[in-house]
Structure 1
Amino acid sequence: MSHDTLPWVLLRGLTREARHWGNFPAQLREVQPGAPVIALDLPGNGALQAQRSPASVSAMAVHCRAALQALGVAPPYRVLAMSLGAMVAVAWAHAQPRELAAAVLINTSLRPFGAFHRRLRPSQYPTLLRLALIAADAAEWERSILALTSRRCFGAAESDALLGAWTAWRLECPVSRANALRQLLAAARFRAPQPRPPVPLLVLASARDALVDPQCSRRLAQAWALPIAEHPTAGHDLPLDDGPWVAQQVEQFVCTSKAP
């Protein structure tokens, strides 16, 4: 397979689904026009909300491999993933390095490269506990998540449209509390392998991430001698806040590194 046609597999984070990529798949296709872009749901999320979420990141990676096989998409793959999804990409790269030609890790927080208070900022505990313990309606959930994960200044009409879509998806494909807890437990338990996986890796971070301290990404890049690019104003959901910037970093990585 030509390097230009290797598929990009997109993986989201905790409780989020493929539709939450929004416009980003199209933005990635603009800079990688020959490559298929496949956004997968993790078990328990999106189209797979009725399934039980695995309690380990490694099991999530096994699911992704099986899902692509079921779709008839053969390796090698390139993976772009954020947060929990990036942990899945690391586990996959460690277990099956020949299947991955490259991976882009966005705003992730791997042990041992970040203390607990950096992997999830304490300033957000009250909001997260309130949402978890109080039966907030779908619209309130999504407003809170947008405030936690984005630093972008949306216009009123754009914000209303975005929150309307997110709320509709939550109502259509609700993530159970048990599945959310299993995903959180899997993320908390996961520890980065040693040594680093033998796959070309790029780290992307957001300087204004209100959920995960960007120091986690900086320490990961330093420990594994990886290239890193940091967006100066974006929040945790970097593809939402500046998808074209992410796509540009991917294109530069593909062109200048050993990644196909």
Structure 2
Amino acid sequence: MDWILLRGLTREKAHWGDFRERLETAFPRHRFHVIDLPGTGEHFREVSPATIADIRQKVQACAAPIEGPIGLLGLSMGGMVALDWAQAEPKRVGQLVLINTSTGFSPPWQRMRPGALGKALGLMARRTPTVRERGILALTSNRPVTPEVHHRWLHIQQRRPVTFRNAVAQLRAAVSYRPCSAAPAARALLLASAGDRIVHWHCSRTLARRWQWPLMVHPDAGHDLVLDDPQWIIQQLMAFIEQCPG
């Protein structure tokens, strides 16, 4: 099966680090693709739409050459795009993995925890990339961040900077997102971090209860679960992906 990985707010495919390679090693029968959201990565010169549906349509167009059925793995806002895609294209999206995401089914204070919105807006407005990226890492990760990671993330931003306008548009899209009431046809797995200081893990629990989806909660990782504990994610995916066809 072909899997598409979608990152979150102002992040791009380079922020996956070696996670794609880890997945390819763990699941050699599957193929993993990374696609940037509009306004980030290779599309950083584009203007980001301000709704999840419009962002999703842009991503769908990029994924057109990949034959279905496909699996989607989305982190944070990437999870919103993945969920919207699964609802819009049920015959194509067969598997769905959502990590630390949220929807309009949860209250605003869980979708963006108290204090996190102000910090996020303050970081977006920072003109100095070094300060901004260090602040983002401090907010999204609960692990000691090595100088190598700091340097790599700074280099990503310097090479393909996300504009303040695009950051705000993506934030508007994420805050306003509310999926359709009916569950997607895709088989789904929810992963969340109990230590997430941006999105409360109860947002994932709300989806799990609403649609009877399995939920696994990491005890102490931060919002960027892929950065904090990628091997834990792979362990949770083992039972899930190995049951997928293809």
Which TM-score band applies after superposition, normalised by the shorter structure?
over 0.9
- Residue 3 of structure 1 is matched in structure 2 by none
In structure 1, the partner of 2:21 is: 26
Q: C-alpha offsets along residues 14-58 of structure 1, whole Å, 9 cap, x if unaligned?
A: 010000000111111122112111110000001100011112111
SS in 2 for 1:55: coil
The question of 1:11 aligning with 2:11 is answered no
Q: Write the distance in 1 (CA, Å) between the matches of 2:93 and 2:118.
A: 38
Quick one: which of 102, 114, 118 aligns to 1:109? Answer: 102
Over the aligned positions, Cα root-mean-square deviation in angstroms equals 1.3
**Aligned-partner Cα distance in 1 for 2:95–2:185:** 10
* Number of the residue aligned with 1:251: 238
Q: 1:123 offset after TM fit, Å? A: 2.4
State the partner residue of 1:82.
Answer: 75
Q: Where in structure 2 are the equivalents of 1:40-59 lying within 5 Å?
A: 40-59=35-54
**Structure 1 residue ranges (4+ consecutive) displaced by more than 3 angstroms after TM superposition:** none
Is the partner of 2:48 in helix, strand or coil? coil
1:192-211 alignment, distance < 5 Å: 192-211=179-198
Larger CA deviation: 28-37 vs 44-53:
28-37
Check conservation: 1:31, 1:248, Cα contact below 8 A.
no
- Matched residues in 2 for 1:40 and 1:10: separation? 7
- Structure with more of its chain in helix, by fraction: 1
User: Shift of residue 108 of structure 1?
Assistant: 0.4
SS in structure 1 at match of 2:236: helix
Question: Per-residue CA shift, 1:221-257, capped at 9, x if unaligned?
Answer: 111100010111111011111111111211211235x
Structure 2 matches for 1:1-260, cutoff 5 A? 6-69=1-64, 72-112=65-105, 114-133=106-125, 135-154=126-145, 159-255=146-242, 259-260=244-245
Structure 1 regions of 5+ residues with no counterpart? Answer: 1-5
**Secondary structure at 2:143 match in 1:** coil
> What is the CA distance between 1:77 and its match in structure 2?
0.8
Which residue identity is paired with 1:193? C
Percent identity, please.
39
Deviations 1:163-213 (A, max 9, x none): 101111111111111111111111111102111111101000001001111
Query: Residues of 1 paired with 2:158 and 2:144: CA distance?
Result: 26
TM-score, normalised on structure 1? 0.91
Q: Name the amino acid aligned to 2:220.
A: T
The count of residues paired between Structure 1 and Structure 2 equals: 245
Q: Which is worse superposed, 29-38 or 210-219?
A: 29-38
2:8 alignment partner AA: G
Q: Name the amino acid aligned to 1:98.
A: K
**Aligned to 2:46, what secondary structure does the other structure show?**
coil
